Amino acid sequence: MACMKNNSYDCLLIVDFGSQVTQLIARRLRELNVYCEIHPYQNVNQNLLKRLSPKAIILSGGPDSVTRDGSPRANNNVYNMGVPVLGICYGQQVMMHQLGGEVKSGTGTSEFGKAFVEKKNSSDLLEGWFDIEKEQVWMSHGDHVSKIAPGFEVFGTSPNAPYAIIGDEKRHFYAVQFHPEVHHTPKGEAIGDQLTCVFVDHGLLRQGEANEVISMFRDNYNIPLIHADESDLFLNELDGQSDPETKRKIIGRLFVDVFQKYANKIEDAEFLAQGTLYPDVIESVSFKGGPSVTIKSHHNVGGLPEKMGLKLLEPLRELFKDEVRTLGKELKLPKEFISRHPFPGPGLAIRCPGKITRDKLEILRQADAVYIDQIRKHGLYDEIWQAFAAILPVRTVGVMGDGRTYDYACTLRAVTSVDGMTADYYPFNHEFLGETATRIINEVEGINRVTYDITSKPPGTIEWE
């Protein structure tokens, strides 16, 4: 990173010891509107310290072990500048080692993943953050501090890190064993528990999807999530409707109503954040007054009522899906998250042309699950931009065993695309198509015919409605 003469604004220096997540420290600071610069530990010398004149210093984590001869150290002047210093993980160990404490290599005391830190003493560092006695954090360490340096005291411990949070309040030196910069340390970032996610379950999701969403948020991310199971409301209003735009409008309206009902229960909520993308906008309304026509009303772009009283945040509104994925990679989100095929807000409603019934939705769910299972088994999931089944509003005659069947036909769709704006059908080989059709007809009661949709976009759209 370029070095600047920093006399016009305050700067925080991050001394990088090679952690995978050093960039996240900078990101968190930027979220807090703090200007910072990352410099590799080898470059942090007296000259640089003088030039930057940092107001505070963070020592990052890193892969090495301070117990190894020749492992990285911070320039000693870092501790003599009279500014606060925070050590994170390796940064904590290096700090302890350099200031007179001890570090041991970690047989039996390593800790990876979720851990809980218990508050032992009050400290300025914990102000406004440790509201309760036990906070969830994210650990990833092999070595650990076995003796703290003179002047330090313990503010928090975890089962495998007796010195999880330590500090010398006189010198404003602090050190933590965990990684406050990562997403999994909920209060490590600015938003923290100020975010409540409202999951509007309209009963039009794929097989097992509602439970997957709930467990992803609650178990993996520990983000407060309200599961608004309103499937009856949606399905009752959709009953008998077959016009695509009417379906979309009903779903869009109910989304807002349901969201509002649950959001009202959240005290002092000020903002609504939505993941609207540019194609949603351009296909629904003319972007910034432009001349494009409405192809379909995307559920999230229909306009939120003024009376909602929430300020709308749509950080992705001017980005295409591929750009959002690049962003996701940059933020180191899990791969399954990033490479997941898109799924439209109105859900299975727009994959069920004609009248929607609960029975048809259930048949569709099963057919779709078999199809996606086939795609995964054949290792094709990541080659395809989006794949799904749709249930057609026709019944066809078939023969199974010695009997006549009169069941629904379904169609399979799979497309390649970069941004969803144009798409081509995926050229499955016939063996795959035959095997998939046989599986669907054998495994899903209610379907006796399978077709493959070979329309590109344009002239078709990706979804059937």
- CA nearest 445: which of 347, 352, 348, 362? 362
Residues 193-222 that bind ligand XMP (CB under 6 A): none
Binding ligand XMP (rule: CB under 6 A), the pick from 298, 351, 360, 365 is: 298
Residue with tokens 């727009």: 350
Site string for ligand XMP, 340-359 (x = CB under 6 A): --x-xxx-------------
Residue 299 makes contact with ligand XMP by CB under 6 A: yes
User: Candidates 17-25, 60-68, 279-287, 373-381 — which segment interacts with ligand XMP by CB under 6 A?
Assistant: 279-287
Cβ–Cβ under 8 Å, residues 425 and 456? yes
Report the residue number, 185 or 300, with the smaller CB distance to ligand XMP: 300
CB of 465 to ligand XMP, least distance (A): 8
- 280 forms part of the interface with ligand XMP (CB under 6 A): yes
Sign of CA dihedral 47, 48, 52, 54: negative
Number of residues that bind ligand XMP (CB under 6 A): 17
Neighbours of 256 (CB within 10 A): 19
Site for ligand XMP in 360-389 (CB under 6 A): 386
CB of 317 to ligand XMP, least distance (A): 12
Pair type for strands 111-119 and 134-141: antiparallel
Site for ligand XMP in 32-51 (CB under 6 A): none
Establish whether 181 is a catalytic residue.
yes
Q: Is 61 in the site for ligand XMP (CB under 6 A)?
A: no
**Local structure of residue 457 (DSSP, 8 states):** B
* Catalytic annotation, pick one of 179, 183, 202, 299: 179
Q: Which alpha helices (DSSP H) does 32-147 contain, by range?
A: 46-52, 90-99
Active site residue 179: yes
Q: Which residues, 62 to 101, sit near ligand XMP by CB under 6 A?
A: none
Q: Which residues contact 309 (CB under 8 A, 6 or more apart)?
A: none
The CA R_g of the chain, rounded to the nearest whole Å, is: 28
Q: Is 141 a catalytic residue?
A: no
Of 168, 181, 230, 463, the one binding ligand XMP (CB under 6 A) is: 463
Beta bridge mates, 156 = 119, 165
Binding mask 385-414 for ligand XMP (x = CB under 6 A): -x----------------------------
Binding test (CB under 6 A) with ligand XMP, winner from 16, 143, 230, 283:
283
Burial of residue 320, with CB atoms counted within 10 A of its CB: 0-12 exposed, 13-18 middle, 19 or more buried: middle
438: exposed, middle or buried (C-beta count within 10 Å: 0-12, 13-18, 19+)?
exposed
Site for ligand XMP contains 325 (CB under 6 A)? no
| Least distance from ligand XMP to the Cβ atom of residue 105, Å | 50
Query: At its nearest, how many Å lie between ligand XMP and the CB of residue 425?
Result: 13
Bridge partners, 37 (sequence order) = 13
- 364 vs 447: CA distance, rounded Å: 9
Nearest-approach distance from CB 274 to ligand XMP, in angstroms:
10
The nearest distance, CB 228 to ligand XMP, in angstroms, is 17
DSSP 8-state code for residue 112: E
**Residue in 11, 89, 352, 410 annotated catalytic:** 89
| Entry field: residues in the chain | 465
**Residue 111 · residue 161 · CB < 8 Å:** yes
Alpha-carbon distance 178 to 156, whole Å?
11
For residue 443, CA distances in Å to 93, 368, 371, 438 come to: 58, 11, 11, 8
Q: Which stretch binds ligand XMP (CB under 6 A): 98-106, 208-216, 375-383, 454-462?
A: 454-462
Tokens of 382: 């990541």
Q: Choose the binding region for ligand XMP from 70-78, 116-124, 142-150, 278-286 (rule: CB under 6 A).
A: 278-286
Q: Which of these segments, 48-56, 180-188, 430-438, 455-463, binds ligand XMP (CB under 6 A)?
A: 455-463
From the CB of 457, what's the least distance to ligand XMP, in Å?
5
User: Of 339, 357, 338, which Cα lies nearest the Cα of 348?
Assistant: 357
d(CA 104, CA 100): 13
Q: Give the residue numbers marked as catalytic.
A: 89, 179, 181
Which parts of this chain interact with ligand XMP (CB under 6 A)?
Answer: 279-280, 283, 296, 298-300, 342, 344-346, 386, 420, 457, 461-463
